[in-house]
Structure formats: C-alpha cells, structure tokens
Amino acid sequence: MSVEPQSRARRKLLAAARRSAVALGPALPPALFVTDPARIADPRAIAHGLPAGFGMVYRHFGARDRSQVAEDLARICRRRGVALLIAADPELAMKVHADGVHWPFRLRQGARRWQGRFALQTVSAHSGWELRAAARLPVDAVMLSTVFASGSASAGTAMGAGRFVRRAKAAGVPVYALGGVTAENAGRIAGCAGFAAVEGMRPFGKAGA
C-alpha cells in the first residue's frame, strides 16, 4: 500500500472510530486490532502505530514465543495509550498486566470465573443466538462476526451491515463488528457499534506490515 492510499485509509478508520466512540462511550476502545499470525506475522508492527484510545486483542494460539510477544505488546500499548486484551489466556494477561481478556464463545464461562480481575472482558459471538447468550455474561462487550465478506479461513457467511446493525441495537450490550472490516466499510456500522479488524488495521502499521 503506497503512502497516499494508506494515509487516506487511516483517515477513514479514524473517522469511523470517532463515531464508534460516541456509540460505545468512554469506557471502551472504539476500535480493536485483532491479531492473526496467519495473516500478520508480527503484530508489533501495527501496534506501534495504533492511535491512543484504540485497543488490540492478542491471539497467540499457543505460540512458543507468546510470553515475549505479549510483554512487547504490553509495553507498546502502555506507551501509546492502547488497551491490550489477551485472548483465552488470563494467566498471561495477568503476567504482562494487560487490560483484559477476550474469550472465544466456547470458553465464555471463563468470563464468570475471572469476573472483577480485569478492567475489560470481551467475548466472541457468531450468530444471533450466541450474541444473546454472550450478552448475559459479565462482559463489557461482544465481538460479533462475520459482518462483511472476509478472507479468513474461519470466517462464516457474511451477515451484512443491515443485519449486524439490527442485532447490535437489540443486544443490550456493546458490540464490535468483526469480519472483513476495512477503512471502506467501517463507517457503515460505526454509528451503533465499535469495530474490530485484522488486515483492516494495516493502514496503521509500518509500510509493508
């Protein structure tokens, strides 16, 4: 991505984040960078460029260097004013003094066991039923997917902006849109929710990240 398109994409993401901040309120990051080693080899390259107030979810998937990467990300996030959540690993989150934990839906009961131990807890949902179940948990927000068509191998059929907006408005809990979110479409859902992205956050990274 050349400098000019990258700058334009960054401006669009920031504009969407400002709308999401109004929808979510001051206690939650308006946007989340979600790591995925299959698509972004080193999340630190993007973490260095995330705006203050954003958040990120580190999904390590059992990587051998997870402790070192988590410590590096925690240091970067503290310096930049970015909230850090560790996915499915509360012990590592405690070790690096992360802000919270993100729970996959299948591990959602962890949110009850670790209630009150972190500033933030989020959980994934992939359907209307899962969203309703997640909303009953002691979590601060739910990450709902798949919203837009995504290149992720695990992505389901995209629900589209309209269905997402209806579900988010009825959820009774703050919601983040995940799946295919980019600078071009984040604004379509930002009026009622936050947004989370993997490759969609590349504009904040170093060139080639």
In a domain, 209, yes or no: no
Its domain, for residue 185, covers: 3-204
In a domain, 100, yes or no: yes
With 50 as the cut, is the pLDDT of residue 9 above it?
A: yes
In a domain, 54, yes or no: yes
Structure tokens at 17: 């984040």
In a domain, 150, yes or no: yes
Structure tokens at 172: 């009774």
**Number of domains the chain is built from:** 1
In a domain, 71, yes or no: yes
At 50-92, the pLDDT tens digits run: 999 999 999 999 999 999 999 999 999 999 999 999 999 999 9
In a domain, 38, yes or no: yes
At 138-189, the pLDDT tens digits run: 999 999 999 999 766 566 789 999 999 999 999 999 999 999 999 999 999 9
With 70 as the cut, is the pLDDT of residue 127 above it?
A: yes
**Quick one: pLDDT band at residue 4, thresholds 50, 70, 90?**
confident
**pTM here?**
0.95
pLDDT of residue 100: 98
pLDDT of residue 208: 44
**Quick one: pLDDT band at residue 209, thresholds 50, 70, 90?**
low
Q: Considering only 2-6, 22-26, 185-189, 193-197, which range has the smallest mean pLDDT? A: 2-6
- CATH code where residue 138 lies: 3.20.20.70
pLDDT, mean of residues 92-113: 98
